[in-house]
Structure 1
């Protein structure tokens, strides 16, 4: 479902060449590509708040909330944390936390073990003092809680959980860093697919990526006209999606 980094780069170069607006090197493209991907990625969350306030269209495929959720779902993932000192530390590619899951394993009377994944409730440190003081509210293996601060998180079930194998982060990850890799052949950069990294955005965003990168390229080559044209096209695309 990824968008080919080579396809986007060639389209960017094609427009610049056709309009005789200059050239963007691979290094410059990679810089712009990652900025464009990040901008569009963050726009998902802004837009879903905007579109979520109005009713969807009768046709599911034209419902922007559905499409935005589909785009965001690409980045939903589950991963185990690491343990540093007394805290669980989030995966390095975490963008937005969804939930903390505790894996509760029990054994029935026949000796068969089963594991249930239970979402831990988030509480603050002050609440924990009160919750933990009462047998009716204190955390258990079936009612886990977690506390988060700048050092990481702590998870409590029947007791404090310290085994990383018992905890999962469900979260939205950051997009991978895009890279148009190349080898120099006859003094020219030749695309190296094996070392390149594609865009992780939804295929529907390919045109927006090209426009956004051209907009950034317009700034680089100091072509105000190109920047204004690309910015206008981007705004028109956004308005069409919101119509």
Structure 2
């Protein structure tokens, strides 16, 4: 489930206003909200790398790898590689590249996973008749946002990929009513992150707010809350 952008904004404002520490405009909040979201999202992959080196916990719900994979699962997607070259516009991390083809012997539609190779490896592979790629044993090279998929020649159709998509841009939008900004749910965009990330989002936005407002007490408060939350998670 997503995290309500309005809930996060209102909680941030409530903490800032508690001791008249200042005000965070919707534009400032949106900027900080998206930065906080990407910080949390990118941390998933660093944490997976770290936790994968440790033995799994016997308790299913406390196994951090399972928790992280559950959070990332909301961003898993499958899309077409247009012309066999162009990757989906919202791609964050590429997973597997697949080629659809018809078996020339059985006339049955099949899917083969392409193997990624470097450009140097591609040159050596194509020089060897036995190692040359086919539609049933395709390969691909990658250059920034584009692929080149080979299987008996460069393939331009029937190429798809599994990937992790970039989180959608968060926005707290509003309409002006009697000079006051009123939340407009129909034009706003919630955080696509797991609902468990609500507290961390608030903490990170508060930290950035403290720097903007030049109030170290806000940063210190958010940092203390974050430290306490992390200790509870590790307990």
TM-score range (shorter-chain normalised) is over 0.9
Structure 2 gap ranges (5+): none
Residue in 2 aligned with 1:115? 109
1:31 aligns with 2:28: no
Contact 2:33–2:170 under 8 Å retained in 1 = yes
1:101 positional shift: 1.1
Normalising to structure 2: TM-score of the pair? 0.93
Structure 1 gap ranges (5+): none
Contact 1:64–1:241 under 8 Å retained in 2 = no
Normalising to structure 1: TM-score of the pair? 0.90
Distance 1:38 1:151 in 2: 20
The 1:19–1:82 alpha-carbon spacing in structure 2 relative to 1, beyond 3 Å, is farther
Contact 2:82–2:159 under 8 Å retained in 1 = no
1:78 positional shift: 0.9
Residue in 2 aligned with 1:8? 8
1:97 aligns with 2:94: yes
- Count of matched residue pairs: 235
Distance 1:115 1:24 in 2: 56
Residue in 2 aligned with 1:194? 186
1:114 positional shift: 4.2
Contact 2:87–2:145 under 8 Å retained in 1 = no
1:170 positional shift: 1.2
Residue in 2 aligned with 1:140? 134
Matched ranges for 1:52-201 at <5 A: 52-83=52-83, 88-106=85-103, 114-150=108-144, 152-163=146-157, 166-201=158-193
Deviations 1:35-84 (A, max 9, x none): 1001101111111122222222221101111101111111111111334x
1:151 positional shift: 6.7
Contact 1:218–1:227 under 8 Å retained in 2 = yes
The 1:108–1:191 alpha-carbon spacing in structure 2 relative to 1, beyond 3 Å, is farther
1:224 positional shift: 0.2
Deviations 1:101-154 (A, max 9, x none): 111234776xxx643222100111222222223332111111010011247211
**Worse overlay, 92-101 or 199-208:** 92-101
Distance 1:107 1:130 in 2: 27
1:18 positional shift: 2.0
